[in-house]
Amino acid sequence: MGADEFSLLADNAAEAGLSWSGPPAVTRREVALPDGRALRAIVWGQGPAELVLLHGGSQNAHTWDTVALALGRPLVALDLPGHGLSDWRDDHDYTVEHGADDVAVAIEALAPAAAVVVGMSLGGLTSVALAARHPEAVRRLVLVDVTPGVNAEKAKAIIDFVSGPEYFTSFDEILERTVKFNPTRSEASLRRGIVHNATALPDGRWSWRWDPHRGPSRERILDSSRLWDAIEGIKVPLLLVRGGDSPVVDDDDVAELVRRNPQARVAVVAGAGHSIQGDRPLELAALLEAEQAAAAG
């Protein structure tokens, strides 16, 4: 996308009521994966990264922009495989286990000393798999509105949105659909999101940046119950941040999380749906700041 992909950060700050003294130190980085693909990331700040942020399905690293601005800390926001600017898999197999292996490579390259891994939705499930498969990469874990109890029924609104047309005749058409499915968000924030998450094709049509083909991994993504055992095995501090208005995590999920991992803590962000980082970014940033402070402790 080039340097101009950061030109909207002042708008993020203004909408959130954050002070703005000029563009922050932020760059694009690329990490080569063993099979020749590349995972791409946004690196915030100039010191060693203190947090790693993993977005949800059909999102990208820019979903964290306002949170990152509010934190003002060195961190890395990754584009998951098949999302944002990261390469697509030839086999379109985006199970969280594959994603965790890729993320582990990126963390080793870009954030080896990060104290906190934060995963939202698909990124949260990926981070659970990461903690199980690469425990050295996770010193503290924050799950944003997701548990292994998520299923197609709870995620219906999300599935309906991402299962829409693969191509759109114009930017306005893609914006109209996005506004319809996100009635609590400002049009300005959704417009910024589309700029980062969609691309104009040579024939004038628009399409999303994520790989719409999920191949054999679709059902395994929608049924993540196998990851409950991984939750049980997590030995590092674990925080679940739940959106107060989200249907994706219910009371039974919270009870199972605490049963499996009695040391887990739960915070509820009132007025937030599934994408807490978009609905209530400052509240989420405050929770992450507390986690970072506890880790530094």
| CA of residue 137 relative to chain centroid, distance | 17
Strand-by-strand arrangement of the 116-120 sheet: 26-32, 38-44, 75-78, 51-54, 116-120, 141-144, 238-243, 265-269
- Rounded Cα distance between 240 and 249, Å, is 10
Q: Which residues of 171-200 are buried (b: 16+ CB within 10 A; e: fewer)?
A: eeebbeebeeebeebeeebbebbbbbbbee
For the annotated catalytic residues, the residue numbers are 121, 145, 274
Query: Which residue type is seen at 216?
Result: P
Give me 268's structure tokens. Answer: 């509820």
CA dist 240 to 15, 34, 81, 221, 231, Å?
26, 32, 24, 19, 11
Residue 260 half-sphere exposure, CB side, CA atoms within 13 Å?
20
Separation of alpha carbons 42 and 26, rounded Å = 7
Which among 98, 85, 60, 106 has a CA at the least distance from the CA of 215? Answer: 98
Spatial contact of 110 and 45, defined as CB atoms under 8 Å apart: no
Question: What DSSP character marks residue 210?
Answer: S
SS3 213: coil
